A and B are shown apart, each in its own frame.
Chain A
Amino acid sequence: MSQQRSPLGYWLAIGWAGFLLLPWYVQSGGFFDFAWLLAWADADAAPALAQAVLHGRWWLLPLALPLALPILLLGRRQDTPAAARLLILAGGIGLAWLALQGFAVIHSGWGFDILARTFGPLELSQSGMGAGAALTALALLMFTGLGIAARGAVGGDRFVVGAITLIVALVAVFIFFPVLRILAGALQDSDGSFAPGLFAARFIDPRIWGLGCVLEGSRCGVAWNTLALALFTGLTTTLLGLAFALVATRTAFPAKRALRALTILPIITPPFVISLAIILLFGRSGTVTQFVADLFGVSGGRWIYGFWGVWLAQILSFTPIAFLVLIGVVEGISPSLEEAAQTLRASRWQTFTTVSLPLMRPGLANAFLLGFIESMADFGNPLVLGGNFQVLSTEIFFAIVGAQFDPGRAAMLAMVLLSFTLLAFWAQQRWLGRKLYTTVGGKGDSGLAASLPTGLKWLVLGVTVPWAIFTAIMYAMILFGGFVELWGRNHSFTLRHYEATFGITQGQFGLVWSGTAWNSFWTTLQIAVIAAIPTALIGLITAWLLSRQTFRGKGAFEFGTMLSFAIPGTVIGVAYIMAFNVPPIELTGTGMILIIAFVFRNMPVGVRAGVATLAQLDKSLDEASLTHRASTLQTVRRILLPLMKPALLAALVYSFVSAMTAISAVVFLVSARYELATTYILNRVENGDYGIAIAYSSVLIVVMLIVIGLFQLAIGERRLGRRSAAPAGFTGGVR
């Protein structure tokens, strides 16, 4: 592999370009308006060298040294120990200095109190890093990677080491750094100074841990609320999911294909939709409520606003996920085991309880934990239906957005929530890590899966059929609700809501996009499309590293890249505004922060899609290519990428669709300039404008259905079916 041409020269060029040519700091007009080309020597737009020489920002100058050191190696062997040391040293020192100066000098001068005390106030300041700094950092990172490869890691494969280094750095900066920043946030007082005493006070807050509901009939702390809700939701969705899985695999139920269609519902359902439908049905002027009122003369209460309403909404939202997991598990049980039980005189009921059910145990645990995590992270449903029943994710939101504005408290709540989900995530990984029960022995017999005991069959049918009908009514309701004047009061047909949101009128200068939703709609589409590309690429490269390469620390690498699955969106949102509001990385208010949030939240989806596809591609394909003298990079590009097209497309579509429906993280990150569809809907819901919210949601559902439909046409249905039938550990992300 050492015969490959070394990419050191390219990285040097890129690093120096970042240092000498591009604006070092972030540009207020954005990089792509190219205003910086004309303002080359300005204090805002100058590159690093000019900043140091012309504007007194001397602390940027030392970066020239690590950028210069590797020049010594040009045209020489780079796989010697000395060369490796030099590269690692240059990259390491450069990155360390880059980070240090970034934190040390911020808008208001010194970033650390201790510096201000030692050196006195600093007149100069700097804003967040921009394109120049990014390129310089990338080059320094790659020097390190080349150095590590030169030391012989992963067989000295530069491409693999480079990819690992890059992904580790990205995950560190955009997942670990913000999460750690929360921890710091919980340790700071309102001025941002270190106050460990506050930490304990915030933690032992009765609003979090109070047991009032048990002890004295008042309210319980949010932590307990959240836990109770998650336990309940996890349990119910698992049981319901199991019932659906049994119906789909073990009965002669005719509409099995329709059942499978259920599994795409959670992907295409924008947040709030389920809650809105529940309000339309069971709210005070809801259809069912009024019907019952007319019938029995009792006026409906507000029972729907609180624990039971949120619970109902969450079951509707998350049962399909449990179904998706469990159908794979149920199908995975070898029929001959059940036949063996029958020939050993077990009745159908005994077969089910002593063989089938125990074999499903790991799958059930997995489904439960997924439901548990989803419920914990759910933001939209508790926000709309919670009423006085508060959970962590909404409390975090109100601690930041509400009148109380208390970032410290938000950070503490986020930490509590994060520890819950991480614990559940860890437990789930443990369960998955333990080998699922598989049939022992080689060649198998193909028998018939046992049919269900009669009582159980009627039970699962009795549960699932009404539930499926209920779900269908909910969605019909949504579509219908967008066309009536005022739900529950005035049911006359109107297009008013659609005109208000998506109206196009004939203006003086041609067509005018007069609907109020157009702006957020286009922004959402644009950002979702842009975010999908890096999500898919990073996800697939990670998948390739995980399934095709062996390297030290692979377990930790996998855990790190899948971690964002367990981080609730609200936590990511809070973490991002805390971490990326000040230099060195200053992103709040930009479209970039939305894109980055989407990329790192949806990355696990791309990884899963890639791992699933790669598992089906024989490794000998890559090996054949490598033995024919192709480099690793060429192998990836010429052999694997074309074969992975389906996975690439799947990752693109899924990340696009999840970006369209995300709310919990972005609700903290949107700005007036970059408003998203979901946050727009949220505002309408908060104002009680249900008609508009519903009309907008319907449009989103239709758009996503079209996208997924086109995708299925492009890929062919079989592939999608097979993947969705796999016992997926990760289905979508946590909203």
Chain B
Amino acid sequence: MSSAATVGFENVTKAFGAVVAVRDVSFEVAPGHLVTLLGPSGCGKTTTLRMIAGLELPTAGRIRIGERDVTNLPATDRDVAMVFQSYALFPHMTVLENVGYGLSVSGRPKAEVKERAETTLELVGLEGFGARLPSELSGGQQQRVAVARAVVLEPEVLLFDEPLSNLDAKLRRRVREEIRELQQRLGLTAVYVTHDQEEALAISDRIIVMNNAVIAQEGVPRDLYEAPADRFVADFIGDANVLAVTIGAIDGEHAEVRIGEARRRLLHRGLAPGPAHLAIRPEGIVLTADPEASIMAGRVRRASYLGSHVEYDIETALGELFVTDSDVDRIHPVGSEVGLGFGTHGVTLVRD
């Protein structure tokens, strides 16, 4: 039944008076993919999503859904469906009427509306809830009704605006898996807004990180984590220690990088010689008891045992670093001198 379509943004800008909410954004969502829009509050995620839905029209640029240019098409005439943050369930209609709403306003026969609505309710695990009012459901159940109401239309694109933010942490993890599973099973193209990076990493085919109305980086979850384009992305996705470094001589893919007193060969990723930044994941640092045999020396300021790993704050000549160590058998006591080395992953040069 897959009617999944591509979504294309070409140099789209949206301004509200003097405020530019989205500036010159281009991207492409492949059919059947789930793409996440991730970014801090106010960066323009919701605005982007609402432009796909047709609830806002762009100030400049073009939007395509499938082969069709929908730039100036209102929401009613687009083949998209949206799950709202507040769910926006119609309080005066039963669950079944809510789910069947889109079909019935499209003029489908009553019997078909009822049958398809019931099938979809079953799909989200709510069979038998059809006669209730939304106010008689729990938060998680309301959320699933909202999803059912959107997918029953088999839309070309399914949109989610922070669909889990009204749920508690445990439920959030379960429901996000359900949503992902449903999207893959139905083969729908989906655009998903969140500001929770873990959620984004968990369910996305691709992630678009936005910052200040523009795209900061786009890619598959692994790329974003392991090869962040700039400081912002490195810091926003996962934790990162960012150190000021100097790039020296370049040699093919690699460059010699000066980190304080030490030197290391790293991928230069197209950066030119001169001052640069190094992003180091907390798990990218290896601690040894011998300060001499490592890149830098440091002193343990704080050590917290968290079961699966130990967290350290370590004072070094380049500033305080946040380090996690999965070796819980040998905990470096507070005040002890340690040596810091780099592991194989999680150390990348980034743009400013």
Contact = CB atoms under 8 A, between A and B. Distances in A.
B86 A443 contact: yes
A734 interface: no
A343 interface: yes
Contacts of A354: 101, 105
Given A343-B82, A443-B165, A445-B85, A348 B92 contact: no
18 contacts: A334-B86, A337-B90, A337-B91, A339-B82, A340-B90, A343-B159, A344-B149, A345-B106, A345-B153, A347-B76, A348-B76, A350-B105, A359-B92, A361-B92, A440-B86, A440-B89, A445-B46, A445-B84
Contact of B139 (A348, A437, A441, A445): A441
A334 B92 contact: no
A277 to B, nearest CB: 41
Majority-rule SS of B interface residues? mixed
A437 to B, nearest CB: 4
A354 B76 CA distance: 14
The interface centre, meaning the residue of B50, B74, B85, B135 with most chain A CB atoms within 10 A of its CB, is B85
Nearest to A338: B88
Contacts of A443: 85-86, 165-166
A-B complex: 9 closest residue pairs judged by Cβ atoms: A344-B102, A340-B88, A342-B75, A336-B88, A444-B86, A346-B105, A343-B82, A441-B86, A437-B91
A119 to B, nearest CB: 66
Contacts of A350: 105
A445 B88 contact: yes
Interface string B129-143: 000001100010010
A447 interface: yes
Given A440-B134, A442-B139, A343 B91 contact: no
Interface in B58-100: 74-78, 80-82, 84-92
Interface residues of B, number: 37
A505 interface: no
B90 A355 contact: yes
Contact of B88 (A337, A358, A361): A337
Contacts of B153: 344-345
B217 to A, nearest CB: 26
B166 A440 contact: no
A345 B103 CA distance: 8
B161 interface: yes
A343 B166 CA distance: 21
Contact of B55 (A337, A342, A346): A342
B53 interface: yes
Contacts of B88: 334, 336-337, 339-340, 439, 441, 445
B142 A440 contact: yes
Nearest to B77: A345
Interface in A136-173: none
B148 to A, nearest CB: 12
A529 interface: no
Given A359-B91, A440-B87, A441-B142, 4 more contacts: A334-B86, A336-B86, A437-B91, A445-B161
A345 B105 CA distance: 7
A85 B130 CA distance: 58
A445 B159 CA distance: 14
A495 interface: no
Contact of B87 (A344, A345, A441): A441
The interface centre, meaning the residue of A340, A341, A354, A439 with most chain B CB atoms within 10 A of its CB, is A340
The interface centre, meaning the residue of B46, B101, B149, B153 with most chain A CB atoms within 10 A of its CB, is B101
B161 A442 contact: no
A445 B82 CA distance: 12
A200 interface: no
A442 B86 contact: yes
A550 interface: no
A439 B166 CA distance: 13
Nearest to B105: A346
Nearest to B79: A345
Contacts of B53: 339, 343
A347 B80 CA distance: 14
Interface in A318-358: 334, 336-337, 339-348, 350, 354-355, 358
Contacts of A340: 82, 84, 88-90, 149
Contacts of B142: 440-441
A342 B105 contact: no
A699 to B, nearest CB: 46
A336 B102 CA distance: 15
Interface string B6-38: 000000000000000000000000000000000
A448 interface: yes
B55 A441 contact: no
The interface centre, meaning the residue of A344, A346, A444 with most chain B CB atoms within 10 A of its CB, is A344
The interface centre, meaning the residue of B54, B87, B102, B106 with most chain A CB atoms within 10 A of its CB, is B87
Contacts of A347: 76, 105
Given A359-B91, A439-B91, A440-B142, A339 B84 contact: yes
Contact of A346 (B76, B80, B135): B76
A438 interface: yes
Interface string A214-247: 0000000000000000000000000000000000
A135 B91 CA distance: 55
A676 B156 CA distance: 72
Nearest to A445: B85
A528 B269 CA distance: 83
Given A344-B101, A443-B85, A339 B75 contact: yes
A441 B75 contact: no
A438 B87 CA distance: 13
The interface centre, meaning the residue of B46, B75, B86, B139 with most chain A CB atoms within 10 A of its CB, is B86
Given A336-B84, A443-B165, A445-B84, A342 B76 contact: yes
A660 to B, nearest CB: 42
B81 A343 contact: yes
Contacts of A445: 46, 84-86, 88, 161
A347 B75 CA distance: 9
Contacts of A345: 76-77, 102, 105-106, 153
B323 to A, nearest CB: 36
A345 B107 CA distance: 10
Contacts of B86: 334, 336, 439-445
A443 B46 CA distance: 15
Nearest to B46: A445
Interface in A419-456: 437-445, 447-448
B8 to A, nearest CB: 19
Contact of A437 (B55, B82, B92, B161): B92
A355 B105 CA distance: 11
Contacts of A346: 76, 101-102, 105
B82 to A, nearest CB: 4
Contacts of A437: 91-92
Interface string B152-189: 01000001010001100000000000000000000000
A355 B159 CA distance: 21
Contacts of B87: 440-441
A361 B93 CA distance: 13
A359 B92 CA distance: 7
A359 B134 CA distance: 14
Given A342-B55, A344-B105, A350-B105, A441 B166 contact: yes
B85 A444 contact: yes
Contacts of A444: 85-86
A440 B91 contact: yes
Nearest to B104: A354
Interface in A345-379: 345-348, 350, 354-355, 358-359, 361
Nearest to A448: B55
The interface centre, meaning the residue of B53, B90, B134, B150 with most chain A CB atoms within 10 A of its CB, is B90
Nearest to B92: A358
A444 B162 CA distance: 11
A383 B194 CA distance: 65
Interface string B102-136: 10011000000000000000000000000000110
Contacts of B139: 441-442
